[in-house]
Chains A and B, each alone.
Chain A
Amino acid sequence: MHYKKYFFILPAFLVVLSLGALFGWGLKPGIELAGGSLLQVSYPEGRPTAEAIHGKVDGLALGEVHVQSAEEREFILRQRDLTPEEKEQLMSALGTLGTVKEVQFNSIGPSIGQELYRKALVAIVLVTLSIILFIAFVFRHVSKPVASWKYGLVAIVTLMHDIILPAGLFAYLGYAQGAEVNALFIVALLTILGISINDTIVVFDRIRENLKINENKNIKELFSEVVGRSVTQTITRSINTSFTVIIVLLALFYFGPDSTQDFSLTLIVGMIAGTYSSIFLAAPLLVYLEDWQKKDV
């Protein structure tokens, strides 16, 4: 398998697309990150219309209330964070339209949201850094022909690709369907960082092994050919290990609880991105770096 530069095209294209979505539409933060409140109610004996709800609720000085219908007899109301008294007001207003039951209520003050957001950024940076260090450490003995820190560099680029794609998807979903991101989304991104590094390690590991064998047996082989061979040898394993995770994630997405749906979707996209990125991004990048190094010499 020979590596040409055009292998980059697909990953690069998708990254540009995702970045465009992120900068253009942005991610819609849910109440956990931006503050606000969410009240989910059900009308067991029949649900009034959304207009009726607005009629009762808009006059309560609660600011803007966004009403969304859910399930068969439920509504989800989103507004700024409420004090317990305000929530009581809201509930009794809703109660005038029929027997109403509270299913779920979350109210988060803005400062807690800010803190979570700040911690999220720090966590992402931390995980990325530690994984890079980890790779540089594990591959420290492989200095020829590409220095070990460059493996770390390639890993960063691959990881960034792996989380930018799901983020871009959610930017689009936020725009098209009002999908919100909350703490679990951040958790999903961090998990992607931790797991998709697997495939990259599998390939790097094999490259390292082949390089060592060549050294021991004094075989001269082009770096690009070693990389190519390593990828061919590990491709089945890479795909299968990702496939098993994706199978269970699909089960979680289709059959699992509502609260983890977005979470599993993010992970699925991240895992798929992670798998092909180690073949179409990480490996070609290594070859490219080595090529580029040679030109300097």
Chain B
Amino acid sequence: MNKEGKHVVVHAETQLAVRVFRALAVLVCAGVVGYFVYSSTVQEDSRFPFKFGLDLAGGSHLVYQADVTNVAPAEVPDAMAVLRDVIERRTNVFGVSEPIVQVEKGSFVAGERVERLVVELPGVTDINEAIRQIGATPSLEFKLVVDTTAETPALELGAEAPVPEIEYIYTGLTGRYLKRAALEFGNTQQGQMSNEPIVQITFNDEGATLFESITRDNVGKQLAIFLDGTPVSSPVIREAITGGVAVISGNFTPEEGKQLVRNLNFGALPVPIELMSTQTIGASLGEEALRKGVLAGVYGFLALALFMILWYRLPGVIAVVALVIYVIIMLALFKLMPVVLTAAGIAGFILSVGLAVDANILIAERIKEELAAGKTTEEAISEGFARAWLAIRDANTAHIIASVILFWFGTALIKGFALVFALGVIISMLSAITISRTLLLAIRVRADKPWGRFLLRSGWKF
């Protein structure tokens, strides 16, 4: 070879060395990430465990609907936020680790606006106590009694006296403005001597102002105090009350009084709530679902790897290696982001593994075609990648469109699936284009030798 020939050979050799180096670098990085995933899974108290949803870890999912008919539309978000805080305080009492209390976006059902609160209690198996406690938080309202001047009809002998209907006007003063409740013994506001337990309510500043204006404007009228929708007491307003302190006396026993004070202090609900749906999953069911899911994933992966290697041979082996790296990256992302895994999420992950390999198949088929058209190995590989990219991009875009809409559509369970799926699509695209390419380019296989031809083609002739 002359001088130029020698340079060409040297150049090609350095190029190959660079490629092999890059390929090795990719493998080493993958190894490091893989080790991270492994060690943080096996270690008991690692900082990055997998996070599992209720259907895998066991627990309860409650959906409450809040009745906001008496709240001005502009104040609804505020009221919901207070409701959320109150309920969360309550759940913290159960000693549940990581409870989740969230306001669900308001939506329209049959023309009415509905506001929902979602409470997730992982690991709580005695849901009944939890529901009782949450539901037991009393709602406190103050309403003005309206003077009814309706005539009572003359009584017939023997007939029951009709109970006069009392009308109430909503004043806007509710438990939202409550600062503190305390149990006292002694005089009621009317000054009667008794040692009955009474509950003294202190309002916050806003509430105090509101209370003052209500009492000032309505001297002589009755202000009924409603606890959980039933009136417990209707004292007559004697004068404007400043200082924001009110007293509830309603023939409580000391026990009832204490309970009431405790409930009020844990937060009176700003709006009444109703339990709309309950989902509880026992921990054993969750564990089984997890075990089966992982098993399915492993078997699925093995079957896939077997097919790829047997059918596509060399590109197939590269595909399997890229797939392993893909799985490692996804698992690491699950831990770091973190992504809460549900049964549907695991299904989505397994599905994405099946799809991730598609890009590799497209590339392998293209390479085959380029080789058939007479190109050298290297050219075939580069051309194969370039040509296949369009099809890969289009296919994956369609997947992402579906994921976005699924995300909008779904409950938390479905969002889990959509997120894992979308993530899988993006990562698999990247892994096919960068990792597969790097690995494939580092292999030096001559297509004109029969062994090379076998390795780079696919399929079997019988």
A, B co-complexed: yes
Interface residues of chain A, those whose CB is within 8 Å of chain B, are: 37, 40, 81, 83-84, 87-88, 101-109, 111-112, 114-116, 119-120, 122-123, 126-127, 130-131, 134, 138, 183-184, 186-187, 190-191, 193-195, 197-198, 201-202, 205, 236-237, 240-241, 243-252, 254-260, 263-264, 267
| Chain A residues in 8 Å Cβ range of B278 | 37, 84, 87, 105-107
Q: A257 with B343: in contact, given A134-B397, A244-B354 (CB under 8 Å)?
A: yes
Please report the C-alpha to C-alpha distance between residue A131 and residue B185 in the assembled complex, in whole angstroms: 71
B301 to chain A, nearest CB (A): 8
**Which of B276, B284, B402, B410 is within 8 Å of A194, CB to CB?**
B402
Please report the C-alpha to C-alpha distance between residue A206 and residue B295 in the assembled complex, in whole angstroms: 38
**B24 interfacial contact with A, CB 8 Å:** no
For the complex of A and B, the 3 pairs showing the least CB-CB separation, nearest first, are A194-B402, A251-B300, A256-B296
Q: Which of B153-161, B164-172, B223-231, B355-363 contacts A (4 or more CB under 8 A)?
A: B355-363
**B10 interfacial contact with A, CB 8 Å:** no
Interface residues of chain B, those whose CB is within 8 Å of chain A, are: 55, 63, 65, 107, 109-110, 114, 127-128, 131-132, 135, 275-282, 284-285, 288-290, 292-293, 295-297, 299-301, 303-304, 307-308, 311, 343-344, 346-347, 350-351, 353-355, 357-358, 361-362, 365, 390-391, 394-395, 397-399, 401-403, 405-406, 408-411, 413-414, 417, 421, 459
Are A115 and B405 in touch, CB under 8 angstroms?
no
B92 to chain A, nearest CB (A): 20
Are A194 and B289 in touch, CB under 8 angstroms?
no
Are B361 and A249 in touch, CB under 8 angstroms?
no
Are A111 and B276 in touch, CB under 8 angstroms?
yes
| Chain A residues in 8 Å Cβ range of B282 | 101-104
Q: A251 with B296: in contact, given A114-B109, A183-B414 (CB under 8 Å)?
A: yes
| Chain A interface, DSSP helix/strand/loop, else mixed | helix
Tally of contacts, chain A with chain B, CB under 8 A: 212
Q: A260 with B343: in contact, given A237-B362, A252-B350 (CB under 8 Å)?
A: yes
Please report the C-alpha to C-alpha distance between residue A16 and residue B281 in the assembled complex, in whole angstroms: 40
Additional pairs, 5, CB under 8 Å, beyond known A105-B279, A183-B413, A237-B365: A84-B278, A101-B282, A248-B350, A252-B347, A260-B343
Please report the C-alpha to C-alpha distance between residue A81 and residue B65 in the assembled complex, in whole angstroms: 15
Are B347 and A260 in touch, CB under 8 angstroms?
yes
Q: A256 with B358: in contact, given A104-B282, A243-B307 (CB under 8 Å)?
A: no
B252 to chain A, nearest CB (A): 24
A205 to chain B, nearest CB (A): 5
Of chain A, the residue at the smallest CB distance from B299 is: A251
Are B417 and A134 in touch, CB under 8 angstroms?
no
B263 to chain A, nearest CB (A): 18
Are A252 and B361 in touch, CB under 8 angstroms?
no
Query: Could you list 28 A-B pairs, sorted by A, with CB under 8 Å?
Result: A37-B278, A81-B277, A84-B128, A87-B278, A101-B282, A103-B282, A104-B280, A105-B279, A106-B280, A108-B276, A114-B110, A187-B406, A201-B391, A202-B362, A202-B395, A205-B391, A205-B394, A236-B365, A237-B365, A240-B311, A243-B307, A244-B354, A247-B303, A248-B304, A252-B300, A255-B292, A256-B347, A259-B344
Are B296 and A104 in touch, CB under 8 angstroms?
no
**Which of A104, A236, A254 is within 8 Å of B459, CB to CB?**
A236
Q: A130 with B289: in contact, given A187-B406, A247-B354 (CB under 8 Å)?
A: no
B87 to chain A, nearest CB (A): 16
B323 to chain A, nearest CB (A): 10
B196 to chain A, nearest CB (A): 31
| Chain A residues in 8 Å Cβ range of B275 | 83-84
Please report the C-alpha to C-alpha distance between residue A104 and residue B399 in the assembled complex, in whole angstroms: 33
**Which of B135, B361, B405 is within 8 Å of A127, CB to CB?**
B405
